[in-house]
Structure 1
Amino acid sequence: MHPPITGTAAGVPFTALPPADDGPAPLIVTWHMLDPPRSDAAFAAALPMNDLPAWRVHLGMPMCGARMVDGSTDAIVELFSRDALMSFLYPFVRQATEEFPAALASIRAQLPVGDGPIGVLGGSLGGAVALRILADTEIPVFAGAVVNGAIRMRSVVDLFPGDYPYDTESEEAVDSLDFVAKAGVIAGRAPLLVISGELDHPALRVDASSLVDALGESSELLSIPGLAHALADEPGIEPAPQLPLAREVDAGLTRWFRRHLADAR
Structure 2
Amino acid sequence: MDAPLTGTAAGVPFTALPPADGGAAPLIVTWHMLDAPRSDAAFAAALPMHGLPAWRVHLGMPMCGARMVDGSMDAGLELLRRDVLMSALYPFVRQAAEEFPAALASLRAQLPVGDGPIGVLGGSLGGAVTLRILADTDVPVLAGAVVNAAIRVRSVVALFPGDYPYDAESGRAADELDFVARAGALAGRAPLLVVSGEQDHAALRDDARDLVNAVGQGAELQSIPHLAHPLAEEPGIAPAPQLPQARAVDAALTAWFRHRLVDAA
* 8 Å CA contact retained: 2:10, 2:103: yes
Within-5 A mapping of 1:137-176? 137-176=137-176
Within-5 A mapping of 1:86-105? 86-105=86-105
Within-5 A mapping of 1:47-196? 47-196=47-196
* 8 Å CA contact retained: 1:116, 1:264: no
What's the CA shift for 1:173? 0.3
Instruction: Report the AA paired with residue 205 of structure 1.
Output: R
What's the CA shift for 1:128? 0.1
Instruction: Report the AA paired with residue 150 of structure 2.
Output: A
Secondary structure at the aligned position of 1:14 is classed as strand
What's the CA shift for 1:264? 4.5
Q: Distance in 1 between matches of 2:119 and 2:251?
A: 16
Most deviating of 84-93 and 175-184: 175-184
Change (3 A) 1:91 1:140: same
**Percent of pairs with identical residues:** 79
Equivalent residue, structure 1, for 2:261: 261
Equivalent residue, structure 1, for 2:9: 9
TM-score (norm 2): 0.99
* 8 Å CA contact retained: 2:42, 2:239: yes
Q: Distance in 2 between matches of 1:186 and 1:52?
A: 25
1:84-111 CA distances to partner (integer Å, 9 max, x unpaired)? 0000000000000000000000000000
What's the CA shift for 1:121? 0.2
* 8 Å CA contact retained: 1:151, 1:178: yes
Q: Distance in 2 between matches of 1:184 and 1:165?
A: 28
Q: Which runs of 5+ in 1 are unaligned?
A: none
TM-score (norm 1): 0.99
Q: Distance in 1 between matches of 2:32 and 2:253?
A: 14
Q: Which runs of 5+ in 2 are unaligned?
A: none
1:135-170 CA distances to partner (integer Å, 9 max, x unpaired)? 011111010000000000010111110000010000
1:235 aligns with 2:235: yes
1:185-234 CA distances to partner (integer Å, 9 max, x unpaired)? 21221010000000000000000000011111211101011100000000
* Structure 1 runs (4+) greater than 6 angstroms displaced: none
Q: Distance in 2 between matches of 1:8 and 1:263?
A: 31
Q: Distance in 1 between matches of 2:216 and 2:51?
A: 28
Instruction: Report the AA paired with residue 75 of structure 1.
Output: A
What's the CA shift for 1:2? 3.0
Q: Distance in 2 between matches of 1:51 and 1:187?
A: 29
* 8 Å CA contact retained: 1:26, 1:264: no
Q: Distance in 1 between matches of 2:184 and 2:218?
A: 10
Secondary structure at the aligned position of 1:145 is classed as strand
1:10-53 CA distances to partner (integer Å, 9 max, x unpaired)? 00000000000111000000000000000000000000000210
Secondary structure at the aligned position of 1:28 is classed as strand
Q: Distance in 2 between matches of 1:200 and 1:243?
A: 16
Q: Distance in 2 between matches of 1:84 and 1:2?
A: 37
Equivalent residue, structure 1, for 2:221: 221
* 8 Å CA contact retained: 1:23, 1:112: yes
Instruction: Report the AA paired with residue 168 of structure 1.
Output: A
Instruction: Report the AA paired with residue 83 of structure 1.
Output: D
What's the CA shift for 1:262? 3.5
Q: Distance in 2 between matches of 1:249 and 1:241?
A: 14
* 8 Å CA contact retained: 1:33, 1:123: yes
Secondary structure at the aligned position of 2:217 is classed as helix
Total equivalences in the alignment: 265
Q: Distance in 1 between matches of 2:211 and 2:181?
A: 9
Instruction: Report the AA paired with residue 204 of structure 2.
Output: L
